[in-house]
């Protein structure tokens, strides 16, 4: 992987292409049946089923998530909710069901094609209290202390500077606000050919941090009552690994004990907080 801007450009290009596909095309984008042609991660190995959730909109579900963050978000009627990496609007529309007409849901995504798709979905549904903004998670287009709940679903692993991202989450949350974030983390080391592959970064694997490092960053940002609500192992099939590793390397990887996990993490901004630690802005 190269510098932060090149990483962002690569992710933007990848997800712009995904925005123009259906959920079914995304699920099949790795390989046709029996073709053995994988050159990236099949997002279907991460995703969970949204269809049972109130507010689910099939046109907004591109199958790109790795959890159900709204299940642990404790969203109340009238809340202002921010979804980071909002894609076509899937989590925003589920959150809107919980905030009701008195609440507001804001989605931020750095990909113009995704923003266009999300806005079209919201307009078709007649949702006047759901807004989508083009922006960077490391520099959110949101004023400080304006949000009650922050959501994100399998996106922060794509952000090069995760410390800056969690600092921004802390900044935009109101005192006593909280987040519920689903993401991909590791326990153990990925083989070098995977960790250096741009395709595996865009596929949510190579950009993943060690689980303990990820949680340490959250604590360092100033969050309290941090807890892992759910942790689920993700299995990468040999057909995917085979694009990067030899058969012997796959065997060693399987025996190494390295784990790839989807986790959903909850954390709160303290009610007495003034600003992010170390900023001296009180």
Q: Looking at residue 146, which CATH number applies to its domain?
A: 3.40.50.150
Render pLDDT for 121-138 as a digit per residue (tens, 0 to 9).
Answer: 999 999 999 999 999 999
Residue 209 lies in a domain: yes
pLDDT at 120: 95
**Distance between CA atoms of residues 112 and 13, nearest Å:** 10
Residue 267 lies in a domain: no
SS3 label, residue 240: helix
What is this structure's pTM?
0.86
Residue 270 lies in a domain: no
Render pLDDT for 29-67 as a digit per residue (tens, 0 to 9).
Answer: 433 333 333 345 555 566 777 777 777 777 888 888 889
Residue 242 lies in a domain: yes
Q: What is the mean pLDDT of the chain?
A: 85
Residues 72-76 have a mean pLDDT of: 97
Count CA atoms within 13 Å of residue 278 on its CB side.
7
Query: If 0-12 CB within 10 Å is exposed, 13-18 middle and 19+ buried, where does residue 136 land?
Result: middle
Domain span holding position 151: 4-262
DSSP H stretches of helix in the chain: 4-19, 23-27, 90-99, 112-125, 162-172, 192-195, 198-202, 211-220, 238-241, 247-255
Question: Residue 20: pLDDT above 80?
Answer: no
Residue 278 lies in a domain: no
Helix or strand run (H / E) with residue 175: strand 173-187
pLDDT at 27: 53
Count CA atoms within 13 Å of residue 264 on its CB side.
19
Tokens, residue 265: 């993490």
Question: Residue 243: pLDDT above 60?
Answer: yes
Report in angstroms the alpha-carbon separations of 12 from 9, 21, 24, 195, 225: 5, 15, 21, 19, 33
Q: 54, 13, 47, 4: which is closest to 27 by C-alpha?
A: 47
Total domain count, the chain: 1
- Helix 211-220 vs helix 162-172: crossing angle, to nearest 10: 40
Render pLDDT for 137-187 as a digit per residue (tens, 0 to 9).
Answer: 999 999 999 999 999 999 998 898 999 999 999 999 999 999 999 999 999
205: which DSSP letter?
A: S
**Distance between CA atoms of residues 27 and 32, nearest Å:** 10
Residue 276 lies in a domain: no
Residue 281 lies in a domain: no
Q: Which of 66-80, 115-129, 265-279 has the lowest mean pLDDT?
A: 265-279
> Facing residues of 50 across strands?
none
pLDDT at 270: 97
- Look at the alpha carbons of 253, 257, 261, 265 in this order and tell me if their dihedral is positive or negative: negative
């Amino acid at each position: 992987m190269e510098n932060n801007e090149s990483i962002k450009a690569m992710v933007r290009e990848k997800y712009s292409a995904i925005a123009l596909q259906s959920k079914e095309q995304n699920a099949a984008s790795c390989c046709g049946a029996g073709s053995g042609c994988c050159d990236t991660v099949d997002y279907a190995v991460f995703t969970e089923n949204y269809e049972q959730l109130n507010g689910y909109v099939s046109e907004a579900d591109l199958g790109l998530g790795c959890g159900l963050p709204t299940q642990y978000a404790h969203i109340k009627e009238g809340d202002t909710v921010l979804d980071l990496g909002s894609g076509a609007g899937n989590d925003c529309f589920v959150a809107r069901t919980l905030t009701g007409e008195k609440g507001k849901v804001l989605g931020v995504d750095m990909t113009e094609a995704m923003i266009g798709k999300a806005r079209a979905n919201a307009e078709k549904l007649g949702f006047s209290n759901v807004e989508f903004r083009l922006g960077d998670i490391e520099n959110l287009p949101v004023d400080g202390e304006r949000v009650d709940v922050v959501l994100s679903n399998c996106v922060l692993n794509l952000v090069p500077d995760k410390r800056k991202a969690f600092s921004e989450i802390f900044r935009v949350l109101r005192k006593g606000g909280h987040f519920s974030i689903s993401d991909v983390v590791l326990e153990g080391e990925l083989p070098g050919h995977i960790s250096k592959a741009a395709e595996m970064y865009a596929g949510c694997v190579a950009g993943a941090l060690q689980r303990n490092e990820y949680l340490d960053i959250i604590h360092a940002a100033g969050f309290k009552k941090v807890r892992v609500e759910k942790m689920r192992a993700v299995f990468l099939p040999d057909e995917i690994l085979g694009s990067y590793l030899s058969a012997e390397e796959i065997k060693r990887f399987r025996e190494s004990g390295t784990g790839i996990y989807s986790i959903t993490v909850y954390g709160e901004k303290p009610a007495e907080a003034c600003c992010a630690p170390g900023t001296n802005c009180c």
